Amino acid sequence: MSAPTAPDPALVDLLGLVAYGELLAFDRLAADARLAPDLRRRAALSEMAAAEIGSYCRIADRLAELGVAPDDAMAPYVEALQAYHDSTEPKDWPEAVTKAYVGDAITDDFLREIAGALDGPDRRLVLDVLHDSRYADFAAAEMRAAIAADPKVANRLSMWARRLVGEALSQAGRVAAADRGALTALIARRDVDVPALFRRLTAAHTERMAAAALNN
């Protein structure tokens, strides 16, 4: 009997990155839900948190199918992703939904670019766990409502969003440039020009800020 084929290291690396991102997002949203001004909004953010842990379980199950322990696959990304969340702790509800709106979208854009190098089923899995547009719509609506209630909030949230995108791109750069040969090879498979990728991420962020009634 032939030995089982070793899993593609690039696939394992990407799934580890996605899994840890989903696990951290669950933690963050569950905590941020307590900042909600009422039960309806608290329930909405809690639902988002539940979706994140569901996505984590799907990725973890796929890693287990590949014969890889999820915690081993996630370990290389703990420092960079935890640093982002530790440095961007929201103080109130408007900051919490802005972080969900900005941070999740940049992460999704980054992963969408890289996932294109995967084979069909795994590519579909990664794309499936990216965030549903209804969550972005909810966050954007909450941001617009906060600005309508107090126009001075717009400047504060614009500054907060700039900080978020700067931190997110910095940590994405650390991930892209990290000593993770397999993940770097996956990026190379897509023939992705990293500076051009970051310009696209920034341009998409600018469009999202305009949609939420914020200047970039």
Residue-wise pLDDT for 76-85, tens only, equals: 888 888 888 8
Burial class (CB in 10 A: 0-12, 13-18, 19+), 32: buried
The DSSP symbol for 180 reads -
Q: Output the pTM of the full model.
A: 0.86
Residue-wise pLDDT for 140-190, tens only, equals: 999 999 999 999 999 999 999 989 988 888 877 766 665 555 676 777 666
Question: Would you say the C-alpha torsion 56, 186, 197, 156 has a positive or negative sign?
Answer: positive
Q: First and final CA of the chain: distance in angstroms?
A: 59
Q: What number of CA atoms fall less than 13 Å from residue 151's CA on the CB side?
A: 0
Confirm if 19 and 56 have CB atoms less than 8 A apart: yes
What domains appear along the chain, each with residue ranges and CATH number?
9-211 (1.20.1260.10)
Confirm if 77 and 112 have CB atoms less than 8 A apart: no
Residue-wise pLDDT for 60-93, tens only, equals: 999 999 999 999 999 988 888 888 888 899 999 9
